A and B are shown apart, each in its own frame.
Chain A
Amino acid sequence: MPDALLATRELDAFYGDFQALFGVEIAIEPGEVIAIIGANGAGKTTLMRSITGLLNNSPEMVTYRGHEIGSLRADLIARRGIAMVPEGRQLFQSLSVEENLIIGGQMGRKGPWTLERIFELFPVLKERRAVPATALSGGQQQMVAIGRALMSNPDLLLFDEISLGLAPIIIKSIYDALPNIIGDGMSTIIVEQDIAKALSVATRVYCMQEGRISLEGRSDALSREQISAAYFGV
Chain B
Amino acid sequence: MSSSSYTISRSSRASRLAAIFGILLLVALAAAPWWAGRADMRLLSEIFLYLSLACLWNLLAGYAGLVSVGQQAFVGFGGYMLFALAMFAGLSPLAAIPLAGLLGALIAVPVAVLIFRLRGAYFAIGTWVIAEVFRLSFAQVSALGGGSGTSLPVGIVKAMASNRSMREATTYWLALGMAVLVLVVIYLLLRSRNGLALTAIRDSELASTNYGIDIWRHKFVVYVIAAGLTASTGALIFLQKLRISPDAAFSVNDWTAFVIFIVVIGGIGTLEGPIIGVIVFFLLRETLADLGTTYLLILGLVAIVVMLKAPKGIWGLIKARYGIELFPLSRRVVDRDLEN
Determine direct contact between A and B, CB below 8 Å. Answer: no
Which of B's residues lie within 8 Å of A, judged by CB?
none
